[in-house]
Chains A and B, each alone.
Chain A
Amino acid sequence: MGDTTNAQPLLQVENLRVEFPTRRGTLVAVDDISFHIDEGEVLGVVGESGAGKSLTGAAIIGLLEPPGRVASGQIIFDGARIDNIGYEKIRRLRGNQIAMIFQDPLTSLNPLITVGRQLTETIRTHVSVDERAARERAIELLNEVGIPAAERRVDQYPHQFSGGMRQRVVIALALAANPRLIIADEPTTALDVSIQAQIITLLKRLCKEHGTAVMLVTHDMGVIAETADRVAVMYAGRIVEVGPVQDVIRHAQHPYTHGLMNSIPVVRHDVEQLKQIDGAMPRLTDIPSGCAFNPRCPKVFEYCRDARPELVDVGATRAACWLYDDTRRAGDTT
């Protein structure tokens, strides 16, 4: 069945709502979402740009940029709430328990500080070791992420590394204090296609070895299929479908997920043109009433415009769609 949680999950997000107060009213960027990530699990979070994926990640680690704020809901990490614990406590969690990897490796590293210094600084923030031990650990980390001649490279500056190498350094930095959860925000989007697979394989291998859970935020369904254990599909600030990755890919229940799957190029089939989902995701300022996807949905019916569907168990996954509510559907067809 859908979500069976045996023990306590590593991360539990409950009814999270992220808002941006603006002059023209409050924009709701993440609207009442709940999900969990188990110890050592890879959760893919997929969706178009602006679906609220990255903001969810930023909210978890407490790095929402003002005026963005968590308006309601709870974020529970390892059994304790972390969304209201104050700056110093969340800072101690960052890097140490929960790490984050950003999209662009070219801008993620401080250009004026050597790679080694950035590593030892991070290590020494969380682990009480002296500079020499931290340096040894830094070299070890660089070796681990596959940077050749780490003893020499450790004293170099970021601009002396290529894009792929820099993302390896970023991963080393994220792993520096052995966190239990890594939030990877589009870790391969800015990289060459040939490098993307390397980085994903590396990330997957390292997290498996260290038992690190990953929240993999991406809009690339291919990356999800290769990497994730479960996947959550987001649309306009809501989770529209969540479930084990194979089930979501093979038997997508929500029409939006369906559309996403069809837009993945498949080499075997000789298709002339890729299917695409008509229209664009709504802006935060005018999210349609009812199901936010209704203007683009091929299977839309009357009730979809009236009320917003909640996640319900559908086969092996959970989907938020009125198609699976027989009474609503029946009511509509008659």
Chain B
Amino acid sequence: MNKSKKNIGALIGEYGAFLALLLLVIVISIVSPEFRTASNFLNLLRQASFNGLIAFGMTCVILSDGIDLSVGSTFALSAIICAELIVYGVPTGAAMLISLLVGTLLGVISGVLVTKGRLQPFIATLITMTAYRGLSMIITDGKPISRLVASIETEGGQFLFKAVGKGNLEFGPAANPWFSIPIPVIILLVALAIFWFVLHKTTFGRKIYATGSNAKCANLVGVNTSKTKIAVYAISGFMAALAGLIMISRLDSAQPTLGDGFELDAIAAVALGGTSMSGGRGKIIGTFAGVLIIAVLNNGLNILGVGSYYQEVIKAIVILVAVLSDRKR
């Protein structure tokens, strides 16, 4: 097998997720004029940003031969802490930073359970998932914290808080929606670039792949596999917290049930993107395609008026077909 002579089958295998995405977009665009508008595409991307950010972190964890079920709960707990701090009167910027730190720390705890505690990643993060959800409930007494913007005193703070989730970056005539990109979409694209760089162009990225490919071997050539694993869970926690900030900014409220089930969408996106569930193989760009497929399905099926019960089944079928076609030949 010569690289330059890769056959079409291999190409489809490598970019299968994008092909599926393209096909979906074309089909839905033909059927629905409403779907193919610029404002809908941007809206779709904004909707995708939560899952996208979480799925990028999840990709790192899965590449290192782990899994992180706790992202949904981390999303909720860090968002709630941010909201509580804002209500308590902590400056917005500081509250957001603390929230991101908390998310990172929550990830570190999962990582320590996996490495020092020698728990299987599935079990370790099932434990943290349950614990973080419980803590969210305890902190809020199960009630939502609402009207966050109103509790921020400074105008700058209000602006910052709103910008994260609701803001647009405008750089052209207001009449053209393409010149007004939602901030969450910008964050998503910047994150994509950073993840791509770290995974493919740095020694840390190599360590993640090596750890997931064969931890024993990686350890023997001097890779600190424990440190690497803790780092990927920390990244995953950070990304979940970042997504959480965008969510509470959009909702102007935080509630303990936020992000329930988000871990499954993130894992689905990673799987759709062709990343091996046993680690060592996969690309961040594939995950991005996976995220978009799920977003296009959600958005497109809604616009087409498909009932939400049917949507779930259709999503399942698309994931099944994509994953089967991506299987190593």
Q: Do A and B come from one complex?
A: no
